[in-house]
Chain A
C-alpha cells in the first residue's frame, strides 16, 4: 500500500496518533568546507570546473602519494564545532575501507572513534533542542556519472568519473536521535545550515551538493522503551526531499509492523520522481569498513591557544547576531511577530546595515521591514546601503512626510544607485511630499469641488470615502498617503 506523495504534515501526525506509533530520527549532515584548497593537497577547492582539471598525485591517490592536512580546514571544522556548542578535542584520523571507483584510494580518510568535535547541541527557533553527537572532518569522493537507465553503477555500460571533488574537505555533523517528525527535521536542518553558514566555514548550498543529508529513521509503539530497527536514507539534497522521504519512511515502517512484518535494517535511496524510498542494500550486504587509524597522518592536537584564537577571530554566532537585533528592537510592541523577520535579516547578512541605520536613529520596525522585504531582492546592494541616507529615508516615512509606497520606490532606486543621495533621488523621481498640510489642502479643495459627495459622506455613506481617496490619489499623481487622506477626511466629517 503506497502513500500518496503529497501527504501533508497533519496526515502523518494523525496517522501516528491513530496507530499509536512515534518516530525517532537522527540526521547526518555533510557540508563542504569553503577552503581555498583541498583537504590533503594544494589543488583548488572549486565547483563547476572542467572535469579532472583540479587534480594531482595526492587527490588522485596515485601510488606513493601522501596526505598533508589542510590547516584552514581544521580551523573551519573547529568554527563549526564551537558554533554547535561542541567540545573541541584532540582527535585522530581513520581509514574507512571500501571499493568504489570514485574513491581514488579505495578508502576514505575520515574520523571514527575520536572526532575533533563532540557533544554539542542546536537550539531550534521554537525553543526545542537537538543534540549533536559529533562533527568530524573527512574527505569527499569524486563524482560518478553512470550510463544506465537506473543511474546505478552495476547496470551501466560506462561510468565517467570527475575527481575534481575528490579530497574536498567535509565536516559530517551527526545529530542525536532527538528528532520526532519531518517538520522538526526540516527546522533542524534549516537552523543548522544558518548556524554553520554564519561561521564562514561553508556555504551550505544544498542545490550544488555542498550540503547533503542522510536520515536515520525508526518507529516504535509509544509505550515501548526500546527503539525500533532503523533505516538510513542516503543523499537527500533538498528540504523538500528530506521531509517527503521521512514521511514516506515513517508510514512504510509502521505499515510494515502493522501488517505483521519486521522492519529490516537497510540503506535506502529516495527516488524523487516516485516520491518513494527504495532499498539500496540490506544489513547483510553492508560493507565491513575495516576502520583503522590512518598511519600516514599524525594525531590532530589543535591546542587550547589556537582554539581560543579561532574563537576570538570567528564571525559572531548566529544566535548572538539575532540577540543583537532583538536588543535594538526591545522597545517595539510587535517584536514577537517580527522574530522570523529578524531571523531572515541575519541570514541575509543585513544585520550589520540594520544596526548602523538604527544606530543613527531610524525606526527599527520600519528598517527591519524594508530590509527583509524590498531590500531582500537585492541583497548585495542592500548590504552596501549608506546607513545615513537609508536612515533619512525611514525618518521621512516615520514622519508621514512620504507614503509607504513612495518610501519603497525611493529605496529601490537607492539600491540601484548607491552613490546618489536621498535628496537627488527624491528630485529625480519627482517625489512630492504630501505631509499633513499638503494633504489637508487637497482634501479641502476637493470638498469644495464636490459638495454633493461630501454631503453623502457626512451622512455615513462609507463608499464615498473610497471615491475621495481615489480622487486625491489621482490629483497627487499617486503620491499622497492613503492613510493620511483617510485620517483628514474623518477629521473633516467630524468638524462639519
Chain B
C-alpha cells in the first residue's frame, strides 16, 4: 500500500511545505471514495467540487505565504450527526433525510478555521444508537478488512473512511463506545476525549450527559493533531470546560518510565482466552519498557452496562422528542396533530431508536423513576468514586476495547442484549466522563483487528495520548 496515506500529520506537513498541493491530496482521497465508497457505504454524502474549491483556496494561501491553520488542506470526514450548513445532516434517519441545518457545529467552525477540507458526511447507526452501523436507514457500512463483517458503530462510516484512505482523519461521536469500538473493529485509532473538552454544540444529541465528539486517525499523533483543533471552551455549550488549552502533540513519542498502568480485576472473568492473551502481550510490552503494572479493582463496573442502558435511553427519549413533524424533517399527515406526530415518528424512526425511546420513557415514568433512573444515577456516582480511588494508584488503565473482533452482519441484530454487550469495556469511561483511546493491537481468531484501550482520569487526555502513542510504537517495533 502507498505509504503516503499512513500519516495525516505528515500530509499536513507536506501541504504546508508546498511539496504537495491540497488539491492533489483531496483528489487522491476522492479517487479512493470513487472506487471504494459504493461498496463500503462509508459516506452518505460528499461534495467533490466544493472540496476541490476549498483546497484551491488553501493552496493559494500557502503559495502566497499566508498563515494557514494546523489542518490546512487536510481532507476530513464528519459523522452525519454533526451539523454542517453545507451538507444535509441526517443522523442516518428517515426522519431527517433531507434536513440541512442553518448552522455549523462548533467543531465544524473550528475545523474550518484551521483550514481543514470537509469531504462529506459519514454513515452511522441511526441517531448513533448501535454498535454495528447496521441500524442506518441508508444501509450498513461494511468493514473494509472483511466486507462480510460490520465496521462497528455507531461511527462505522468514519472508521471505515479513515481505514480505507477515503479521509485522512474523521470526527465521530462516542456515547458508549461509538468511536473506540469501530476504531478497534477497523484497525485504526479512535479517541473519546474528556466530557466537556470538545464542544457538543451542533452534535445532534443522543444522550447529552454521555455524548462526546472525538477524532479517528491512522495514528495516535493524527488524533492528537485533530484534538488540538477541536478542543477548547465554547460559550455555546454550558457543559464545555473552561480550562487552559494544551498541545496534545507533545505527548506523542514519549517513553513509559514511571508510568503506572492498572489492570481491572473485574474484567478478568469476562475475557476469553484470545483477548486475555492479547492483553497480556500488550501488558508485557509495557512492563518491558519501564511501566509499572498494578492490579486495580472497580467493584461497581459490573453495573456499568445496566446503568448506561437506563441513563442513555432516558436522555434519548427526551432529546428525540423534538422530531415530531411540526418544524422540520419528515412529516406524515394525520387527522389531527397528535396523529400527525404519531405517524411521523412511527414511520420516521427505525426499530432500535424506537426501542430506546420506549426504554427511556419507561425508565423516567412516574412510579418507576426512583427504581430505574435514580438508581442508575447513584450507580454512576459509585462508579466515578471507584475510578477516583484507582487513579490514586495508577496513571492509566488498560483493557481490551471490545469483547470480540468485528462480527458478521446480522449476527447480533436480533439479540439487542448481545449487541449491547459490545460496549462493555467502553461504557465506563462515558459514565465517568473520562478520556479513553483505542489503539490497534493484535487480531482475533478470524484475523480481524483488535484494539487495546487506554483509560485515564478526567482531563488526563494527555496521558491516554502518551501511553497510546507508546503502545503504537512498541507494537511496530515488536
Q: Are B101 and A63 in contact (CB under 8 A)?
A: yes
Chain B neighbourhood of A278, CB < 8 A: none
B87 CB to closest chain A CB (Å) equals 13
- Measured in the bound complex, the distance between the Cα atoms of B369 and A159 in whole Å is 34
Contacts of A429 in B (CB 8 A): none
> Residue of B at shortest CB range from A69?
B238
Segment 223-279 of B: residues with Cβ below 8 Å from A: 235-239
The one of B83, B209, B236, B337 in contact with A153, judged by C-beta atoms closer than 8 angstroms, is: B337
Chain B contacts for A153, CB-based, 8 A? 336-337
Q: Tell which of B83, B209, B318 touches A64, judged by Cβ atoms closer than 8 Å.
A: B83
**A63, closest chain B residue (CB):** B204
The B-contacting residues of A in range 44-84, CB under 8 angstroms, are: 57, 60-69
Interface 9-mer from B135-143, B295-303, B319-327 = B319-327
Closest to A67 in B: B238
Say what secondary structure dominates the interface of chain B. Answer: loop
Q: Which residues of A contact B89 (CB under 8 A)?
A: 63-64
Q: Take A107-B318, A153-B337 as given contacts and tell me if A65 and B201 are in contact as well, using a CB distance cutoff of 8 Å.
A: yes
**B 198-221 to A, binary, CB cutoff 8 A, 1 in contact else 0:** 001111110111000000000000
A479 to B172, CA, bound (A): 88
Q: Which B-chain residue is minimally distant from A97 (CB atoms)?
A: B318
- Interface residue B51 (Cβ < 8 Å from any Cβ of A): no
Contact B322–A105 (Cβ < 8 Å)? yes
The answer, yes or no, to whether B315 is at the interface (CB within 8 Å) is yes
- Nearest-neighbour CB distance to chain A for B475, whole angstroms, equals 37
Residues on the A chain within 8 Å of B209, using CB:
295
Residues from chain B with Cβ under 8 Å of A61 in the complex:
322, 327
- Flag if A68 contacts B238 (CB, 8 Å): yes
Say whether B324 contacts A290, CB under 8 Å.
no
B236 touching A66 by the CB < 8 A rule? yes
Q: Is B341 interfacial (CB 8 A cutoff)?
A: yes
B156 CB, min distance to chain A CBs, angstroms: 20
Complex CA gap A165/B202 in Å reads 23
A106 touching B364, Cβ below 8 Å: no
Interface check A288, CB cutoff 8 A: yes
Max chain B C-beta neighbours (<10 A), residue from A95, A154, A161, A296: A296
A64, A99, A159, A292 — most chain B CB neighbours (10 Å): A64
Do residues A101 and B318 form an inter-chain contact, with CB atoms below 8 A?
no
> A227: CB under 8 A from chain B?
no
Per the bound structure, the CA–CA distance linking A111 and B321 in Å amounts to 19
Interfacial chain B residues near A292, Cβ < 8 Å: 314-315, 318, 364, 369, 373
How many Å from the CB of A33 to the closest CB on chain B?
19
Q: Quick check: is B102 within 8 A (CB to CB) of the other chain?
A: yes
* Closest-CB distance, B154 to chain A (whole angstroms): 16
Q: Kindly state the separation between the CA atoms of A153 and B338 in the bound complex, as whole angstroms.
A: 10
Contacting B201 at CB < 8 Å: which of A64, A69, A106, A291? A64
Q: Residue A104 at the B interface, CB < 8 A?
A: yes
Could you tell me if A288 and B315 are in contact, using CB atoms closer than 8 angstroms? no
Residue from the list A66, A67, A101, A297 in contact with B326, Cβ < 8 A: A101
B361 at the interface (CB under 8 A from A): yes
For A63, A64, A288, A295, which residue has the most chain B Cβ atoms within 10 angstroms?
A63
Give CA–CA (A232, B85) in the complex, Å. 45
- A68 contacts B321, CB within 8 Å? no
Interface flags for B91-108 (1: CB within 8 Å of A; 0: not) read 100001001011101000
**Number of A residues with CB within 8 Å of any CB on chain B:** 31
User: How many of chain B's residues touch chain A, expressed as a range?
Assistant: 35 or more
- In the bound complex, do residue A64 and residue B238 qualify as a contact, i.e. CB atoms below 8 Å apart? no
- Cβ contact within 8 Å between A64 and B364: no
Task: Tell me which of B204, B238, B338 contacts A297 (CB under 8 A).
Answer: B238
Residue numbers in A under 8 Å from B91 (CB-CB) = 63
On chain B, the residues within 8 Å of A97 by CB distance are 317-318, 321, 364
Asked whether, in the complex, the Cβ of B102 is within 8 Å of the Cβ of A57, the reply is: yes
Residue of B nearest to A297 (CB): B238
Interface residues of B in 360-393 (CB under 8 A from A): 361, 364-366, 369, 373
Q: Which residue of A lies closest to B314 (CB)?
A: A292
Chain A residues whose CB sits within 8 angstroms of the CB of B324 once the complex forms? 99, 101, 106
CB contacts (< 8 Å) of B321 on chain A: these are: 97, 99, 105-107
> CA separation between A383 and B359, bound complex, in Å?
61
A296 to B237 Cα, complex, angstroms: 8
Query: Which chain B residues lie closer than 8 Å to A64 at the CB level?
Result: 82-83, 89, 101, 103, 105, 201-205
Within 8 A of A (CB), among B279-325: 314-315, 317-318, 321-324
A475 interface residue, CB < 8 Å from B? no
B336 with A154: CB separation less than 8 A: yes
Q: Are A296 and B239 also in contact (CB < 8 A) when A63-B96, A64-B101, A104-B327 are?
A: yes
- Are B337 and A154 interface neighbours, CB within 8 A? yes
Which residues from A are CB-within-8-Å of B338? 99, 154
Choice from A57, A66, A159, A297 contacting B101 with Cβ under 8 Å: A57
- Shortest CB-to-CB span from A76 to chain B, Å, is 19
- Complex Cα distance A470/B327, Å? 75
Contacts of A106 in B (CB 8 A): 321-322, 324
| A298 interface hit (Cβ, 8 Å) | yes
**For residues 268 through 299 of chain A, which have their beta carbon under 8 Å from a beta carbon of chain B?**
288, 290-292, 295-298
Neighbour of A66 across the interface among B82, B238, B322, CB < 8 A = B238
Residue of chain B at shortest CB distance from A155: B336
B432 nearest CB across to chain A (Å): 15
B364 touches A296 (CB 8 A): no
A62–B239 CB distance below 8 A: no
Shortest CB-to-CB span from A362 to chain B, Å, is 53
- Among B101, B236, B336, B366, the residue within 8 A (CB) of A62 is B101
Q: How far is the CA of A426 from the CA of B428 in the complex (A)?
A: 85
CA distance A65 to B364 in the complex (A): 23
Point out the residues of chain A lying under 8 angstroms from B102, CB to CB.
57, 62
- Contact mask for chain A residues 349-371; partner B; CB cutoff 8 A; 1 contact, 0 none: 00000000000000000000000
CB-CB nearest in chain A for B321: A106
Residue of A62, A63, A296 touching B238 (CB-CB under 8 A) = A296
Residues B208 and A296 in contact, CB atoms below 8 Å apart = yes
Asked if residues A68 and B235 are in contact (CB atoms below 8 Å), the reply is yes
Please, which residues of chain A bring their CB within 8 A of the CB of B201? Answer: 64-66
**Residues of chain A lying within 8 A (CB to CB) of residue B364:** 97, 290-292
A295 to B212, CA, bound (A): 13
Task: Give B96's nearest chain A residue, CB to CB.
Answer: A63
Q: Is the CB of B318 within 8 A of A62?
A: no
CB distance from B191 to the nearest CB of A (A): 21
Given A104-B322, A105-B321, answer yes or no on A66-B200 (Cβ-Cβ < 8 Å).
Answer: yes
B16 to chain A, nearest CB (A): 32
Query: Is A101 a contact of B337 with CB atoms below 8 Å?
Result: yes
Contact A63 B318 (CB under 8 A): no
**Contact B327–A60 (Cβ < 8 Å):** yes
Whether B361 pairs with A290 at a CB distance below 8 angstroms is: yes
Chain A residues closer than 8 Å to B361, beta-carbon distance: 290
How far does the Cβ of A144 sit from chain B's closest Cβ, in whole Å?
A: 10
| Residues from chain B with Cβ under 8 Å of A161 in the complex | 326
Known: A101-B324, A292-B318, A292-B364. A298 touches B239 (CB 8 A): yes
- A selection of 20 A-B contacts at a CB cut-off of 8 Å is A61-B327, A63-B89, A64-B201, A66-B237, A68-B235, A68-B237, A68-B238, A69-B238, A99-B338, A104-B327, A159-B337, A288-B365, A290-B361, A290-B364, A291-B364, A292-B315, A292-B373, A295-B208, A295-B239, A297-B238
Interface residues of A (CB under 8 A from B): 57, 60-69, 95, 97, 99, 101, 104-107, 153-154, 159, 161, 288, 290-292, 295-298
Task: Knowing that A105-B322, A161-B326 touch, tell me 7 more A-B residue pairs with CB under 8 angstroms.
Answer: A61-B322, A62-B328, A106-B324, A290-B369, A292-B315, A295-B239, A298-B239
5 shortest interchain CB distances as A-B pairs: A106-B321, A290-B364, A295-B209, A295-B208, A63-B204
